[in-house]
Structure 1
Amino acid sequence: MTDTDTTAALLAAYDGQMRAVQPVPAPGITYEHDGPVLRVVGQHRGFVTGPRDWGGVRGPELDALIARQRDFFAARGEAVEWKTRGHDDPADLPDRLRAAGFVPEPQETVVAALVADLAVQSPVLPPGVVLRRVSADADLERIAGLETAVWGEDMAWVADYLRGRLTVAPDDNEVFVAEAAGEVVSAAWVAFRPGTDFAMLLGGSTLAEWRGKGIYRALVALRASRAAARNAPYLLVEASDDSTPILKRLGFTAMTTTTPYVWTPAA
């Protein structure tokens, strides 16, 4: 099988599994369907996803579908993210989202790799840094503080998000921190989705002064080892522009891109 064939097979598995099988919703979160759209209600902002071809909905019918999602969350006074992928049909979906008032956020690259190629039982860390699996509220709050510091915006919702995932599916979500002298300098988690071939790597934010020291790679290796223990064949990451080059050097293959289109109610 050529590299192109492998990438196409991975992308088909991603579309057929990760877009079709959703995680068990955390307490307070509900799933609602509107035609081909899956609407997630109760998070820090609304979320919309769907199949690759969006159920064949096109033209004015698609405009109406978009408007219904916007108006649903507008009535709740909430922002909503419509998740697009670079290989989706129809090609004019982004234009129709913009026309409805949705604004694109930074594009990410969807990459995948074989777990067996990356699983390392004892990842290399800089002196004084330790990795620890966490679940206590205090640690989740520290992770939210780290995310806020790294991204320069209020990320307090991350603690609630992680708490919810650990509450509803503690066996399918593992959260890790990298600490130096008791300070959380990086954090990452892995989500297993039963019924799929993928373990999804999430987080991976690192304080600026600790970047380039191998911590991100160590967290990838640790989570790969946990995926190996679960017999998950592939790792999946929706990677930022900062993370994508690192992951490609580790052997990840780019499959497609994903761009969140977000509508936000007026202040």
Structure 2
Amino acid sequence: MAASHASTAAAFLAAYDSQLRTDAEVAGALSVTPLGPLCLATFDGGRGFVTYADLGGAGAARIADWVDLALAHFRADPRVDAVEWKTRAHDAAPGLHSALLEQGFVPDDPESIMIGAATDLVADVTLPPGVQLRRITAPADVRAVSAMQDIAFGGEVSAVRAEDLLRRLECRDGTELWAAEHQGSFVSAGRLEPVAGTDFAGIWGGATLAAWRGRGIYRALTAERARSALRLGKTLIHSDSTGYSRPILERYGLLKVSTITPYNWTREA
């Protein structure tokens, strides 16, 4: 059983590396500049982003040079206020952590890369009385769902996040927003983001109000998004998960295949 589990995780990781890195990550960028094996992408909203398929066996000195040059590239662009450098635990990247710290990047908490077969996430779940699932498209409903998610995550309701979500849904890249509703109020929600040209769809933004947790609602939403992914021809589901959500997704059938640590740099005023 353990060997089968390990071989499945290895196959998932190979699919992740071959399908979800570089091109899939920078789709929609305003510009993408190559630097050795790196992709330096600039997105709307002043966000810079660095990713790569692998570092080609480079040593610490070469990697430190790439970090210097990448940051210089973004510093020279007045549109860019912040840069995220995405690292993976399974990459060979000697000296990268130290080089990023040296240039003022700050690491976030690590997140688990979770992958599973979409068919394994499909399940029939009995919802609490009066709770219904539906896909959300109307702007007023999108804003209401965004506000619910802000509250569920313990933050302030943000009109900026709501408008960002609306733009994401309006750009017709296949992103879907699904929610659970009870007596006209939203109590749980999450997105499905199919990745063009791959076998993957991502599940993101899962949030449930505290009073409704532990009642099968998020499990039902995950199953519904998996069904939608299968209808779109996507056979694999992926998500980057915190320590809180990882056990939930593991119970649903996803496997941890590696770890991501984002490093962030912010331009001083």
Specify the TM-score bucket, using the shorter chain as the normaliser.
Answer: 0.7 to 0.9
Whole-angstrom distance in 2 between the partners of 1:13 and 1:179: 35
Q: Which residue type is aligned with residue 51 of structure 1?
A: A
Deviation of 1:194 after TM superposition, in Å, equals 2.4
Q: How does 1:71-220 map to 2 (within 5 A)?
A: 71-72=75-76, 75-76=78-79, 78-120=81-123, 122-149=124-151, 150-153=153-156, 155-170=158-173, 172-220=174-222
Distance 1:60 1:91 in 2: 9
Q: Which has the higher contact order (CA 8 A, sep 6+)?
A: 1
Question: What amino acid does structure 2 have at the position aligned with 1:216?
Answer: Y
1:243 match: 245
The aligned residue for residue 34 of structure 2 is 34
Residue aligning to 1:258: 260
Q: CA deviation at 1:92?
A: 2.5
Percent of aligned positions with the same letter in both sequences? Answer: 38
Q: 1:68 to 1:189 in 2, by over 3 A?
A: same
| 2-structure distance, mates of 1:179, 1:233 | 27
| Partners of 2:131 and 2:180 within 8 A in 1 | yes
Bigger CA drift: 52-61 or 198-207?
A: 52-61
Which ranges of structure 2 fall in alignment gaps of 5 or more residues?
Answer: none
Query: Could you tell me how far 1:209 is from its partner in structure 2?
Result: 2.2
TM-score (norm 1): 0.87
Among residues 62, 66, 72, which one is paired with 1:68 in the alignment? 72
- 1:199 is matched by which residue type in structure 2? A
Q: 1:62: Cα distance to partner?
A: 2.1
Q: CA RMSD in A?
A: 2.5
Equivalenced residues, count = 262
Q: Which runs of 5 or more residues in structure 1 are unaligned?
A: none
The offset of 1:24, in angstroms, is 8.2
- Does residue 45 (structure 1) correspond to residue 18 (structure 2)? The answer is no
Instruction: Deviation per CA, 1:121-164: give whole Å up to 9, x if none.
Output: x5332222221211222122223322322242565443333323
Deviation at 1:232, TM superposition (A): 1.5
Secondary structure at the residue paired with 2:23?
coil
For residues 195 and 251 of structure 2, what CA distance do their matches in structure 1 show? 26
**C-alpha distance 258-231 of structure 1, shift in aligned 2 (>3 A):** same
Instruction: Determine if the alignment matches structure 1 residue 7 to structure 2 residue 9.
Output: yes
Counterpart contact for 2:48–2:74, Cα < 8 Å: no
